Structure 1
Amino acid sequence: MLDTPSAQVPTLSLADQARDPHAFAAALGQSFERFGFAIVADHGVPQELIDRAWDETQQLFALPEEEKRGYFVEGAGGARGYTPFKTEIAKDAKHVDLKEFWHVGRELPEGHRFAGEMAPNIWPARPEGFKDTFTELFSAFDTAGDKLLSAIALHLGLDADWFDPAVRDGNSVLRLLHYPPIPVDAEGVRAGAHEDINLITLLLGAEEAGLELLDRQSGRWLAIKPPEGAMVVNVGDMLQRLTNHVLPSTTHRVINPPPERRGHSRYSMPFFLHPAPDFLIETLPQTITPENPNRYPEPISAQDYLMQRLVEIGLIKK
């Protein structure tokens, strides 16, 4: 099952952006247009912080089940805190995903205008230092994401800072993911075929085999194999909609490992970069052509779009 051919997604260096922002933007945009994915090295998130985050993620998921479930908020759509194993399901899938996860969101000051849409964080009593580590990691992902959005803006012919007001106080989510050991005959896969909801996703932890994208040209599943320490970055449905599919949101999944690896856990940390709840997702005029007419004549707010999608994947019940 893991002899899948590799996707030839290029590895780009974010350090190149400072030297030649337009060349970096072109390379990133071309990778997105071809695959919906890019691999980004030299992303600026400190390795010491990443190592600390991995250690505390493993400690968190090793807590007793009853303790973890104490941080699960029924009916909250998994927005913050713990979501138990076998809760989320990919849209139109037959089996729930074989994963549990924890969500960290943006820390907002008291009385913030988005307090009604963005729930306060839930911080576990253990492991010690968890809040400091993941507040710092959220900020580091935010910084890297801003740089990537600047490159995307340039690629689309926009000002480099076009996304800044859209994502200031954005509803981004840092997800700590644990795929526990599974039996050889486990039903389903660790994460069913899906597209992400947000603008872009920045992912750490894809070095462990299993992440695959569905290639639009060949119709084949292709493995994504980043070099050690690099980030996998992919287009989400909000950016696909904003760009009228010029930048496509590619279907991807996490398949089960071969039998000899099924007794091992898999961990990853995706950062789902979202705009602010009141951002209007309205097709960019320059992406509308006679060959590519406007697929989304009706704009929608980021908050309304998010709620629609959370219902589809089972995190919010109608």
Structure 2
Amino acid sequence: MMTSASAEIDNKVAASAGVRASIAEGKDLPILDVGPYLAGVPGALEQLGADVKCIQENLGFFAIVNHGIPQSLIDESFRQTAKLFDISMEEKLRHRVGFHHQGYLPPKSSILKSTAIAEKIAVNTKKDTNAAWLFMRNRSADDPKVLSNVRHRGLNQWPESLPEFRKTLFEYQTSMEKLSLKLLPIYARALGLPADYFDSMFKAPEYYQRCAYYHPEEKMEEGQYALAPHSDGSFLTLLPMTPVPGLQVMTPSKEWLKVSYVKDALIVNTGQILNRLSNDRFIATPHRVVNPPTKRYALTFFFYPDDDANVGPIPACVGPGEKAKYDSRSFYDFFVPYLDDLYHYNDPKFMSEVEPAGAGSK
């Protein structure tokens, strides 16, 4: 049964005209100003809840401004990430991804595909051209999950030659985590739930940081992508915008929307965790990255609940006469098969040592 707070958001607060128009036109992402909400302005939470409800039921992607993350930190994170991909291949390969999906992923060494969107988009069979460094929550050597060798909960692989990268990225991740926690009440209200509903699921949240480099390829194979169509597995994803184009989002009409640059904005989208929790009310939108015109870097921050949080459908999101469309399981029990389904890089026939020129071939 929905709460009285649910009735308030469903009946009294409508999505703003700008959000409705942006979704209807399908040419640009809706842009939400979260500054008033973060400053505690009365009514700001309810309006954002209504706007996000409309977005998540239709498009699944939007951009936020006045989010409180210093642009100087984002700019420095991009600078350090560019340096990350310019270190020697020898050092990169010392940190190659493996059991924990933490470390360096060479270009053209993996195939990104997901059964979750196979019916919407043809199954990908081509190796993605991007390279990436993958980091989970930073842990110490005496962390119980590290000591127990829990998969994807190991020690991050930091490049020895770039101590400033580690310092900067840790600050970046910490800032993104704090912002993500502040955004949780918006999603709760968007679902008609009390603002603090998700607090118990995020006492020790997990995250996954993907630092990516998209090299402008002179020639792409037919059906090949810089990053193939997929949907995220996150509760929510935060991505600082870059002037270099490449990201495309699938609209409800199954057209590809080319994301336009908005200065100092963060792209926000939700993934399969919130899709499950909402019993399909909030969509996990397919998106892709096409071959960019020049070097493109990305600092994608995937935000997740606690490992032991139940990510089965929220009872209040299962309407009268409906059935739960997903089973009840812990987030961790969802996460491991999600990554195994999405990333296919351990098969030797997909592996390659080829490094594009200008990306660290020293």
TM-score w.r.t. length of structure 2: 0.79
Q: What SS does the aligned partner of 2:340 have?
A: helix
* CA-CA distance at 1:119 after TM superposition: 1.4
* CA-CA distance at 1:250 after TM superposition: 0.6
Aligned: 1:281 with 2:311: yes
The correspondence for 1:219, drawn from 254, 258, 275, is: 254
Question: Counterparts of 1:241-256 in structure 2 under 5 Å?
Answer: 241-256=276-291
Moved more, 156-165 or 281-290: 156-165
Give a deviation string over 1:245-296, Cα, whole Å, max 9, x none: 1110011111124xxx2xx211111100011211111211121124653211
For residue 272 of structure 1, what is the aligned residue in structure 2? 302
TM-score w.r.t. length of structure 1: 0.89
Q: Is the 8 A contact 2:28 2:260 kept in 1?
A: no
**Count, aligned residues:** 305
RMSD, matched Cα: 2.1
For residue 86 of structure 2, what is the aligned residue in structure 1? 62
Work out the CA distance in 2 between the residues paired with 1:281 and 1:234: 18
Q: Is the 8 A contact 1:176 1:267 kept in 2?
A: yes
Unaligned runs of 5+ in 1: none
Q: Is the 8 A contact 1:99 1:177 kept in 2?
A: yes
The correspondence for 1:104, drawn from 128, 135, 143, is: 135
Aligned: 1:310 with 2:333: no
Q: What SS does the aligned partner of 1:172 have?
A: strand
* CA-CA distance at 1:7 after TM superposition: 3.4
Work out the CA distance in 2 between the residues paired with 1:140 and 1:11: 21
Q: Is the 8 A contact 1:87 1:314 kept in 2?
A: no
> CA, structure 1 residues 308+289, in 2 after alignment: closer, same or farther (shift >3 Å)?
same
For residue 22 of structure 2, what is the aligned residue in structure 1? none
For residue 205 of structure 1, what is the aligned residue in structure 2? 241
> CA, structure 1 residues 73+190, in 2 after alignment: closer, same or farther (shift >3 Å)?
closer
Aligned: 1:137 with 2:159: no
Q: Is the 8 A contact 1:14 1:41 kept in 2?
A: yes
The correspondence for 1:193, drawn from 211, 229, 241, is: 229
* CA-CA distance at 1:306 after TM superposition: 1.1
Which structure has the larger Rg?
Answer: 2
Work out the CA distance in 2 between the residues paired with 1:224 and 1:182: 20
* CA-CA distance at 1:138 after TM superposition: 0.4
The correspondence for 2:67, drawn from 14, 26, 43, is: 43
* CA-CA distance at 1:202 after TM superposition: 0.5
Work out the CA distance in 2 between the residues paired with 1:13 and 1:55: 26
The correspondence for 1:9, drawn from 18, 29, 38, is: 29
* CA-CA distance at 1:114 after TM superposition: 4.1
Report the identity percentage.
28
Q: Is the 8 A contact 1:104 1:134 kept in 2?
A: no
For residue 30 of structure 1, what is the aligned residue in structure 2? 54
